[in-house]
Amino acid sequence: MMSLTEVASHFKVHLATVKRWIKQGRLRASKVGPRELVRRSEVERIERLMQQGRF
C-alpha cells in the first residue's frame, strides 16, 4: 500500500492531482484509519493505462 503522497511522487504529479483522480473515480484508494492508501497493483494498473495513452 502506498500513501497518496507516495503515489504523487511516483507519478511526478501534485498531491491535489492524485486526490482529484480518486474523486473522479480514476484511481481507487482505501481508507485505513484516517489515511487513504492505494494498492501497488492499482498504481501498476494506472501505469499500464498511461503507457497505452488511456489515462
- Among 46, 51, 13, which Cα is nearest to 29's? 46
C-alpha cell at 54: 488511456
Q: In what order do the strands lie in the sheet with 30-32?
A: 2-3, 35-38, 30-32
> Rounded to whole angstroms, how far apart are CA atoms 21 and 8?
11
Q: What is the pLDDT of residues 5-34, one digit of tens each?
A: 999 999 999 999 999 999 999 999 999 999
φ/ψ of 44, rounded to 5, equals -65, -35
**Domain tally, the chain:** 1
Domain with 12, as residue range(s), is 2-51
Cell of 2: 502506498
Residues 28-54: tens digit of each pLDDT: 999 999 999 999 999 999 999 999 999
